[in-house]
Amino acid sequence: MKIIVNQEKCPQNHKCPSIAICPQGAISQKNIYALPIIDHTKCILCGKCMRFCPKGAFEKI
Ligand code: SF4
């Protein structure tokens, strides 16, 4: 199981607000127009990003 960012739901036009709430520092974004990237070696599947993202772009697969 892992967390992915659904590019159909992420508008990719702002700094990802979920970056700041990830307790593992697992989410990064090259610039405000980029799809956030999740480092699966850091992610502990806590689900905070999924609950926090207003677009529901983080999905567990
Ligand atoms: S599930 Fe938790 S640890 Fe993983 S990217 Fe989201 S907020 Fe970070």
Q: Does an H or E element contain 48, and which?
A: helix 48-52
Question: 2 CA distance to ligand 1 centroid (A)?
Answer: 9
Domains of the chain, earliest start first: 1-55 (3.30.70.20)
pLDDT at residue number 40: 98
CB 32 within 8 A of CB 19: no
Q: Which residues contact 60 (CB under 8 A, 6 or more apart)?
A: 1, 2, 3, 45, 47, 50
Question: 11 CA distance to ligand 1 centroid (A)?
Answer: 19
Single pTM value for the model: 0.94
pLDDT tens readout for residues 16-61: 999 999 999 999 999 999 999 999 999 999 999 999 999 999 999 9
